[in-house]
Amino acid sequence: MNTLQIQPSLRDLLWNPATVTSLPGFLLHLGLAALLGLILGQAYVYFGQSLSNRRLFARNFLLLTVTTTLVISIVKSSLALSLGLVGALSIVRFRAAIKEPEELAFLFLAIGIGLGLGASQALTTIAALAVILGLIAIRSLVRGSPDHANLFVTVSSAAPVKLSATQILEALTACGAKANLKRFDETPDQLEASFLVEFNEVKQLEKFNQQLRALNQGVKVSCMDDRGLNA
């Protein structure tokens, strides 16, 4: 194929009239996907109850919504591309475990936004997201906030000197902290317990660590900030 033949082929590939006509709408849908992904992320950070780092996890929503919009926009007009997408997704394996059902629900919502915008259903998608976020806000207001925890604390203890949940709660109470047990996993070799904890100052956290070390030197304590802790 000589140069004269290559140039028309490149022009047909990059300057398809149908593609050029649909490009403004496609870019608009990508922009809406990015905006709605950001809004969804902020809603997850504000209303979510997950023990994971919600701010870090929420960053995935923008990329997920935009990518889903891109994929659906490409394959929606072609049965062959749709079948190819199914085949491609069948070989994808996700290694990261989703421990919180709430995380999975928000991920599905982000994908749903991308599907709607990719299918050129912008108004329906925006209206549905507004209703869903409204329901989430109402649920949060009705449920209220039973605690004012400012830290997520995870304690891991291995055999043979494995701590119990009762010992951990007693240590928290002894240092003046308020705590609610949120997750408890135990095997013959290890215990892992997660708490929502209210510490008023750093000294309480240090005292808690010291009491746990006195019970078991090998204990592992992980703290994740939720609302901040005063010095």
Task: Find out whether 229 and 208 touch, Cβ atoms under 8 Å.
Answer: no
In a shared domain, residues 169 and 200: yes
**CA dist., res. 57 & res. 134, Å (int):** 21
Q: Is the pLDDT of residue 72 over 80?
A: yes
- Interval 48-66: pLDDT, tens: 877 667 788 888 899 989 9
The percentage of the chain sitting over the pLDDT mark of 90, rounded to a whole number, equals 15
Which range of 21-25, 66-70, 95-99, 154-158 scores highest in mean pLDDT? It is 66-70
Q: Residue 3 domain-assigned?
A: no
> If you average pLDDT over residues 20-29, what whole number do you get?
76
Helix (H), strand (E) at residue 223: strand 220-225
Domain span including residue 49: 22-91+98-143
With tokens 């090998």, the residue in question is: 218
Q: Residue 10 domain-assigned?
A: no
- Interval 73-128: pLDDT, tens: 877 766 555 655 555 555 455 555 556 678 888 988 998 998 888 888 889 999 99
In a shared domain, residues 102 and 119: yes
pTM of the entire structure?
A: 0.62
In a shared domain, residues 67 and 127: yes
Q: Residue 187 domain-assigned?
A: yes
Q: Is the pLDDT of residue 44 over 80?
A: yes
In a shared domain, residues 42 and 131: yes
In a shared domain, residues 180 and 125: no
In a shared domain, residues 108 and 126: yes
Q: What is the DSSP string of 147-201?
A: ----EEEEEEEESSS---HHHHHHHHHHTT-EEEEEEEEE-SSEEEEEEEEE-SS
In a shared domain, residues 104 and 191: no
Q: Is the pLDDT of residue 146 over 50?
A: no
Q: Residue 131 domain-assigned?
A: yes
Q: Residue 103 domain-assigned?
A: yes
Q: Residue 130 domain-assigned?
A: yes
Q: Residue 122 domain-assigned?
A: yes
Give the type of residue at 112.
Answer: G
CA-closest candidate to residue 40, choices 71, 19, 62? 62
**CA dist., res. 112 & res. 25, Å (int):** 19
In a shared domain, residues 139 and 166: no
Q: Is the pLDDT of residue 8 over 90?
A: no
With tokens 């608009």, the residue in question is: 28
**CATH number of residue 202's parent domain:** 3.30.70.2690
In a shared domain, residues 31 and 116: yes
> If you average pLDDT over residues 17-37, what whole number do you get?
79
Give the pLDDT of residue 133: 93
Mean pLDDT over the full length of the chain: 77
Q: Is the pLDDT of residue 32 over 90?
A: yes
Q: Residue 162 domain-assigned?
A: yes
> If you average pLDDT over residues 32-39, what whole number do you get?
94
In a shared domain, residues 113 and 67: yes
Total structural domains in the chain? 2
Q: Is the pLDDT of residue 227 over 90?
A: no
In a shared domain, residues 174 and 210: yes
